[in-house]
Structure 1
Amino acid sequence: MTDQGVAPVVVHVADRDRYEIRIDGTFAGVTMYHDRGGQRVFYHTKIDDAFAGRGLASVLVREALNDVRAGGRRIVPVCPYVKQFLGKHREFADIADPVTPEILQWLDGAAG
Structure 2
Amino acid sequence: MSEPSTTTAVERVDAGRRYDILVDGQRAGLTAYRDRGARRVFFHTEIDEAFAGQGLGAQLVQQALDDVRASGMRIVPVCPYVAKFLRRHDEFADITDPVTPDVLRWLEAQLG
If the TM-score is normalised by the length of the shorter chain, which range does it land in?
over 0.9
The gaps in structure 1 that reach 5 residues or longer are none
Runs of 4+ off more than 6 Å: none
- CA-based RMSD: 1.0
**Paired residue for 2:79?**
79
Number of residue pairs matched by the alignment = 110
Alpha-carbon offset, residue 7 of structure 1: 3.2
Distance 1:37 1:26 in 2: 31
Q: Does 1:89 align with 2:89?
A: yes
Matched position secondary structure for 1:6: coil
1:77, distance to aligned residue in structure 2 (A): 0.1
Task: Report what 1:53 is aligned to.
Answer: 53
Give the Å deviation of 1:4.
3.8
Residue 11 of structure 2 corresponds to which residue in structure 1? 11
Per-residue deviation at 1:14?
A: 0.6
- Identity across aligned pairs (percent)? 56
Q: Which moved more, 1:33-42 or 1:3-12?
A: 3-12
> C-alpha separation between the residues in 1 aligned to 2:111 and 2:60?
22
